[in-house]
Amino acid sequence: MSKNASQWNQHPKFPPSHFVDSRIYTDEQLFVEEREKIFNTCWIIACHESEIPNAYDYRTFFHPGGTSLIIVRGEDMKVRSFYNVCPHRGNTLLYDPVGNAKRITCIFHAWSFDSKGNCTDISREEQGFQKRFCKADAGLREVRAEVGFGGFVWVNTDDNACTLSEYLGDSLNMLHDNMSMPLEVFHYHKAVVDTNYKLWHDTNSEFYHDYMHYFNRVTGMLQPGYFDRKYTGYPNGHASVGSMEIKYDAYEGGKQRGVGWPALAPGGWILIDIFPGMTYNLRTSVLRMDTSIPLGPNKLLIEFRGLGLKSDTPEERAERIRDHNTIWGPFGRNLHEDLLGVHGQGRAMHPGSEPTWVLHGREENMTIHDEGGMRHFYAEWSRRMGRKSYDPYGERKTSAVA
Ligand code: FES
Ligand SMILES: [Fe+2]
């Protein structure tokens, strides 16, 4: 039955954990708060160690908290991170996304810094500052950085946050044996989508939308074991989806795949979502990593990386690249459908300014079409925001079910 305005505003007959208010995807005020309370307090993947293999290699990273960071490997081979900001007058230090710099020299007044963040030169230091200020007073602002859990470079702009290991807890245990050897990024691309970052994470947190993927219906949904996969939630909003065997050969006429992955059953699949917007997705021969960088409530930059083993032979690497690109590359069978699925989602759900409800109400014993993974995410979102995801401004009539 169609709805009039007052019927449309009545919440669904679910517990409040099973739906959210659509404004959490669209409101500028909430987005500003998310940067402060979520992105600037959580551990975030900035890049992978293999992208900066040599001393002085750097990468710039637009942190989802809203600032530009430098990730640089020092002459001691340690990876460090700094704000990409000159301590003189706040100029941006590095503009290129990637490079190698023994010295980082600000283009504005030529102050220089080494890979440990020390200031090594202040032009006309003595003449301008006499003894009042010197190089030792002008280091770069360091950001906490750790390398681990597959060789990713993690950063946290909150000096008081817990350690990375504490943040992740047991959430990545399922991948422990699969990531015991050095990995290497062989594919990188990014997409900018008109959507909210949470809606992208949702596509990685529920597989009910496999109905959208023709290919997944064949390789996954029709295969035995698909509906046995279970969601497991972990503290801090992370969640895993149990492994299953993917029958890619069901689509490809029974052709056997040559390259597998250490400690992964042939055709295996392990997916782990890390709060607030990173996903480890290991299938058959490739690890895919998604990292979400919101640019606004309705604008999202997603970085996609494909990884293989650093020890790959050229033949093994070529097969991994083929396996990756046919499914997950920009012209693959799967990814563009997900991007279409979230494009415009959120805005389109409430014509004009009228908020609506977004349902997370499916219960299937926490198996693959259960929406429990999303409910777990929004419970953490609510905890960190100090707001209810189903009633972010405390004015909706949800008390009857609450
Ligand atoms: S702003 Fe960088 S040297 Fe002046
Ligand atoms: Fe998908």
Do 17 and 375 meet the contact criterion of CB atoms below 8 Å apart?
yes
Tell me the two tokens of residue 30. Answer: 């909430």
Q: Sign of torsion, CA 42 194 187 259?
A: positive
φ, ψ at 83 (rounded to 5°)? -65, 140
Nearest atom of ligand 1 to the alpha carbon of 89: 1
How does pLDDT run across 98-138, given as a tens digit for each residue?
999 999 999 999 999 999 999 999 999 999 999 999 999 99
Please give the full DSSP string across 168-208, using - where no structure is assigned: HTTTTGGGTGGGSS-EEEEEEEEEEESS-HHHHHHHTT--G
- List Cα–Cα distances, 393 to 6, 7, 30, 396, in angstroms: 19, 20, 10, 8
In which band, very low, low, confident or very high, does the pLDDT at 165 lie, cut at 50, 70 and 90?
Answer: very high
Of all protein residues, the one whose alpha carbon is nearest to atom 3 of ligand 1 is 109
Residue 110 Cα to ligand 1 midpoint, Å, equals 6
Of all protein residues, the one whose alpha carbon is nearest to atom 4 of ligand 1 is 109
Residue 335 Cα to ligand 2 midpoint, Å, equals 7
Highest mean pLDDT among 110-124, 214-228, 252-266, 327-341: 110-124
User: What pLDDT score was predicted for residue 54?
Assistant: 98
335 or 46: which leads in pLDDT: 46
- Nearest CA among 244, 250, 281 for reference residue 265: 244
In sequence order, the β-bridge partners of residue 146 are: 154
Residue type, 374: M
Burial of 82 (0-12, 13-18, 19+ CB in 10 A): buried
In which band, very low, low, confident or very high, does the pLDDT at 223 lie, cut at 50, 70 and 90?
Answer: confident
User: What pLDDT score was predicted for residue 166?
Assistant: 98
22: pLDDT strictly greater than 60:
yes
Which residues are near ligand 1 (CB < 6 Å)?
86, 88-89, 91, 106, 108-109, 111
User: What pLDDT score was predicted for residue 402?
Assistant: 46
Q: CATH: 3.90.1150.200, 1.10.3720.10, 3.90.380.10, 3.50.40.10. Which one for 180-384?
A: 3.90.380.10
User: What pLDDT score was predicted for residue 347?
Assistant: 62
Nearest atom of ligand 1 to the alpha carbon of 106: 2
Residue 328 Cα to ligand 1 midpoint, Å, equals 42
Residue 90 Cα to ligand 1 midpoint, Å, equals 7
Mutate to test the pocket of ligand 1, among 93, 104, 111, 129 (most ligand atoms within 8 A of CB): 111
Of all protein residues, the one whose alpha carbon is nearest to atom 1 of ligand 1 is 89
User: What pLDDT score was predicted for residue 222?
Assistant: 80
User: What pLDDT score was predicted for residue 251?
Assistant: 46
Q: Which helix (H) or strand (E) holds 292?
A: strand 286-296
Mean pLDDT computed over every residue of the chain: 91
For the chain, give every domain's residue range: 44-156, 180-384
In CATH, the architecture of 44-156 is 3-layer Sandwich (2.102)
pTM: 0.94
Residue 119 Cα to ligand 1 midpoint, Å, equals 12
How does pLDDT run across 302-346, given as a tens digit for each residue?
999 999 999 999 999 999 999 999 988 888 888 889 999 998 776
